[in-house]
Amino acid sequence: MRVGLVGAGFIGAVHLNAYANIPEAEVVGVADFDPEAAAAGAVLVGARPYSSYAEFVASEEVDVVDVCLPTSHHREVALAAARDGKHVILEKPIAGSVAEAEEILAAFEGDGPRLLVGHVVRYFPEYVRIKAMVESGELGEIGVARTSRRSPMLDGWNDWYADRRKSGGVLVDLLIHDFDFLRWSLGEVERVCARGTAGREYNRLDYALATLRFASGAIAHVEGHWGYPAPFCYEIEVAGSRAMVAVDSADRPSVELLGEQSGSGESLDVAVGKSPFESELSDFIRCLKTGEEPRVSGRDAVEALRVSLAAAESIETGRVVDMGRSRSGSS
């Protein structure tokens, strides 16, 4: 499959490094408004640099457009690629609003080009293992989950991460990973309550803590922090009636099972091989070739965004948000 990548910033470079190890995908063009970034990205995969999506799609025959742009540009490029008949790999979040996300989904309905959204946590070995343990009943009936995802404040083009109007802040850009994984593993979210820092329009610190109530009765506490004064890290605990599983990216072994069935502190083997991004993009390319459904659907991406926006609404209003009646659900 011939791939053109748009957006050669941080996540674009991560994708390009992954493609370098995927023989089924050939990146032929890398577009970025910054010519130095486009050139540097193109060198990674032996592609040609371009200044925009329009320029490379006019010059290259591509099957897939991989969009790694700031969230506020997702709609524009995804819709243009759909009109051009190109498959699209779109980095999370799918969009900044539910209305834009639904417009993107509608553009890929039917038998034409396909949309694949990059919720990469579904490809982290530790999280895949937890999902399997939940589904198998190994943990029993799930009661409580706790997640934490912490990162230094990100730098991006024009400091767009720090502008909540463009990035959605820590809830939409970072915690959407955990919202998606928890919904994938525990089912639909019914209610959301969140608190966090409001800050200035352009701030260098963003913290949020959200509590999710699931239709199953399970509860999850989800913490996110931009401005964390240490390297990126994440944790997750899922507690059931039989046992609890815990992951801490800073510790080894990274996955621990606690409970009577397996003994306290038993470590679980988690395969360490290719990066989750390589696994994700390989799977996306395979699905495009075979027609199979990807691990992440477009609808999954929209629902994860709805949870993120419900949490933002809860912080704004100081109220619990019913997912069936939230502003994000009807926008």
All residues at 6 or more sequence positions from 110 whose CB lies less than 8 Å from its CB, including other chains: none
Q: What average pLDDT is seen over the chain?
A: 90
How much is the pLDDT for 156?
74
Please give the average per-residue pLDDT across 274-298, as a whole number: 95
Is 209 within 8 Å of 193 (Cβ atoms)?
no
Take residue 306 and report the two structure tokens written for it: 């709805």
What does the pLDDT average to over 82-96?
A: 97
Measured distance CA(256)–CA(246) in Å, rounded: 5
- Given a cut of 70, is residue 201 above it in pLDDT? no
pLDDT on residue 179: 98
d(CA 279, CA 189): 27
Is this structure's pTM higher than 0.75?
A: yes
Query: What is the third-level CATH fold of 2-118?
Result: Rossmann fold (3.40.50)
The domain spans of the chain are 2-118, 122-279+303-330
Among 292, 295, 277, 306, residue whose Cα is nearest residue 5: 277
Class (C level, CATH) for 122-279+303-330: alpha beta
pLDDT category at 155 given cuts 50, 70, 90 is confident
265 pLDDT tier (thresholds 50, 70, 90): very low
